[in-house]
Amino acid sequence: MNHQSGRILLWSMLALAAVTNTLSQLHAQDGYCNHCQGAAGCHKVCRLVCETKKVTVVCWGKQTEDFCVPGPSSVCLRHVDCVCGDDTDPKAPCSQPKKFPWTEWIPACNAKIHTKNKLMKRTITKTIPSFKWVVEDLCANCEAQVPVAQIPPGVEVPPPPATDAKILPPVTEAKVPPPAAGAGS
């Protein structure tokens, strides 16, 4: 693709996005209901919506681990082994024997136990309720049927936005009407 056709493609995509955005705004401004898509008597409504969001919490702690520190060691035996002169493997390279001295140590009996603390990380994901105000175009029928957020006692609710729209009040748990007798039976 040459440079000129790339520009044309970019401008046509931008024009399409602008037309789509304008049409959706006109549809909302014409008073169509966001729920039933009807056009009869729609008006803007601020509604409190309860959603859930996941929050990650990092907890730090320590884990203890015991270990031994021996006292001074003493020499038990001194050894000298012969290495590299082994002709038992026919595929091994030919080499001269070499002396390998090593010492066998014995730890003292006065070892002490010490404790070290290891830093440990634990990640917990909690799902919590989150409240926000949304502005919607609703008809009178849908306004009566849309769910209103129920707020537990003691929960702080964000203030409604400054708008000319009608504000649907949230329902606290103390105001929730009890189910009608015989409902669900």
Q: What is the pLDDT of residues 128-152, one digit of tens each?
A: 888 888 888 888 777 777 777 777 7
Stretches in the chain below the pLDDT threshold 50: 21-28, 176-185
Q: Return the pLDDT at 134.
A: 80
The pLDDT, as a whole number, for residue 150 is: 76
The answer to whether residues 39 and 31 touch, using CB atoms and an 8 Å cutoff, is yes
Question: What is the reported pTM?
Answer: 0.41
Task: Give the pLDDT score at 132.
Answer: 82
- Please tell me the predicted confidence (pLDDT) of residue 70: 85
pLDDT at position 138 is 80
